[in-house]
Amino acid sequence: MSTAARCFACFRPTAECFCATIPTIDNQTEVLILQHRRERRHPFNTARIVRKALSNATYLVDHVGAFAESLPLREGAGLLYPGDDARLIDDLAPHERPRQLVVVDGTWHHTKTMLRDVPALRELPRFRLAPTEASKYRIRREPTAEALSTLEAVVAALRVLEPETAGLDQLVAAFTGMIDRQLLHPRKVPDGWRSHARRRRTSKNIPTALLDGLTSVVAAYGEAWPRASGETAASQEPAVWVAERLLTGETFRCLIRDYQQLSDAALAHWELTESDFAAAVTRDEARREWEAFLRPGDRLTVYNEAVARLAARLSPSSPQPLVLKSVNLAVDRTYRDLDEVLGAAGLVVAAPRLSGRAGRRLANLVSYVRHLHRGAGE
């Protein structure tokens, strides 16, 4: 359905608009919602419902970099986010309660990125919830069994901070009513992450495309040419691209020529030599070779967003990758890189089948994908 047929308050199709059921809540604690820009157009984004309901709320949507530069934080601000150093919000004395409740909204991967890259958020005191029941957000998969949607988290926090505030139960009722209506005519989304039919429930947000089988899964890794002056990460071009089809073990390797001069530093970083690039191909040749390797229905998997961007630069028609960095094998713990994830999981990686740093990183990714396919020990 086109955006012309949508309500721009709840962002549901006009026939499904439930704005009339959303109460106006005069909350005392200011709520500041910081939403990752990639979340803003999702039709089931609960932050928009919170913004419409709460009279004392600020809702900001932007890039992580913009949040890092400036945030409208007040004295007494506190971050609602789980972690080892987060205090249970129920245990706070009245004078310890936050006067401004900061909530980050986005996927598990997006929120972790925001906390990592926005210093002001890291400096805030952190508070957590202790949910007594599972999330009712059955439309979208939550990263853990204890995770809540933004709306549920805000309501749970306000129930503790200001139990006398009216309208919170009505807001939850409007939310669950929207979900119940949607589930009467669910739409199966073939992106590997959300599915309502025969979905396997786990405590980790492992893509169902990996849990259900590896028939069409292709793991990929790429190295980028060093950034030129003024160039952004989003515009970097791939220098090395490798992949493996997990079912058959078929591999792909391509070195790509660029206008830049090969430097000793770049070659050392890639763990390659200048002679390796003697067989390098042009960008167009690399794109054609990569598209010839891919098959209809392939599910491309990468570890992080940087490699996903390289996949799009190599071939805009490549399948939308599953980015596995957002999989949380351990709740309330973050890992710096895939090497640390593999070490924590105690995985032994097979010898790389392709040379260079890219071949080693691809071997790591293949081992990780197979680990996730087995259900990560569940």
Q: Are 351 and 362 in contact (CB under 8 A)?
A: no
For residue 130, what pLDDT is reported?
80
Report the number of secondary-structure helices (H) and strands (E) in the chain: 12, 11
Q: What crossing angle do the helices spanning 283-293 and 305-314 adopt, rounded to 10°?
A: 100
Residues 73 and 122 in one domain: yes
Which of 121, 149, 183 is the C-terminal boundary of a domain? Answer: 183
Q: What is each CA distance from 352 to 219, 225, 262, 360, 361, in whole angstroms?
A: 13, 22, 24, 5, 8
For residue 4, what pLDDT is reported?
46
Residues 143 and 214 in one domain: no
The string over 159-168, giving b where at least 16 C-beta atoms fall within 10 Å of a residue's C-beta and e elsewhere, is bbbeeebebb
In a domain, 200, yes or no: no
CA 138 to chain centre: 18
Contacts of 5 (CB under 8 A, 6+ apart): 13, 14
Residues 366 and 224 in one domain: yes
For residue 218, what pLDDT is reported?
95
For residue 234, what pLDDT is reported?
75
In a domain, 199, yes or no: no
- Catalogue the E-assigned strands of 228-360: 238-245, 251-255, 299-302, 322-323
Residues 166 and 217 in one domain: no
CA angle 123, 124, 128 (to 5 degrees): 130
H helix or E strand, kind and range, residue 127: strand 126-128
In a domain, 201, yes or no: no
Q: What is each CA distance from 228 to 80, 225, 231, 239, in whole angstroms?
A: 39, 9, 5, 14
For residue 44, what pLDDT is reported?
63
Residues 167 and 250 in one domain: no
Q: Within 10 Å of residue 187's Cβ, how many Cβ atoms?
A: 8
Residues 235 and 365 in one domain: yes
Q: HEC profile for 50-119?
A: HHHHECCEEEEEECHHHHHHCCCCCCCEEEECCCCCCEEHHHCCHHHCCCEEEEEECCHHHHHHHHHHCH
Tens digits of pLDDT across the chain (378 residues): 344 466 666 666 777 777 888 999 999 999 999 998 877 656 567 888 898 899 999 999 888 888 999 899 999 999 999 887 899 999 999 999 999 999 999 877 788 889 989 999 999 999 998 865 545 443 344 444 345 788 989 999 999 999 999 999 999 888 888 776 665 554 444 444 444 444 444 445 677 778 777 888 999 999 999 887 777 777 889 999 999 999 899 999 999 987 678 899 999 999 999 999 998 999 999 999 999 999 988 899 999 989 999 999 999 888 888 889 878 666 556 677 888 888 888 888 888 999 999 999 999 999 999 988 886 544
> What's the predicted TM-score (pTM) here?
0.49
CA 204 to chain centre: 13
Which of 148, 167, 183 is the C-terminal boundary of a domain? Answer: 183
CA–CA gap between residue 134 and residue 147 (Å, rounded): 8
Give the count of domains, the chain.
2
Residues 158 and 273 in one domain: no
Q: Which of 204, 236, 223 is nearest to 329 (CA)?
A: 204
Residues 31 and 151 in one domain: yes
For residue 197, what pLDDT is reported?
42
Residues 365 and 233 in one domain: yes
Question: Which tokens sit at 307?
Answer: 């490699």
In a domain, 215, yes or no: yes
Length of the chain as a residue count: 378
For residue 320, what pLDDT is reported?
84
In a domain, 202, yes or no: no
Residue 222 has phi, psi (to 5 degrees) of -140, 155
Q: Within 10 Å of residue 3's Cβ, how many Cβ atoms?
A: 9
In a domain, 197, yes or no: no
Interstrand relation of 238-245 and 251-255 (parallel, antiparallel or unpaired): antiparallel
Q: Within 10 Å of residue 336's Cβ, how many Cβ atoms?
A: 8
Alpha helices for 237-304 (secondary structure H): 264-270, 283-293
CA–CA gap between residue 342 and residue 329 (Å, rounded): 10
Residues 142 and 264 in one domain: no
Contacts of 89 (CB under 8 A, 6+ apart): 80, 97, 127, 128, 129, 157, 160, 161
CA–CA gap between residue 367 and residue 351 (Å, rounded): 10
CA–CA gap between residue 196 and residue 186 (Å, rounded): 7
CATH number for the domain that contains residue 292: 3.30.420.10
Residues 18 and 158 in one domain: yes
Residues 260 and 162 in one domain: no
In a domain, 79, yes or no: yes
Identify the domain containing residue 49 by its residue range: 3-183
In a domain, 75, yes or no: yes
CA–CA gap between residue 232 and residue 370 (Å, rounded): 33
For residue 178, what pLDDT is reported?
77
Residue 244 has phi, psi (to 5 degrees) of -145, 135
Question: Which tokens sit at 196?
Answer: 């309502």
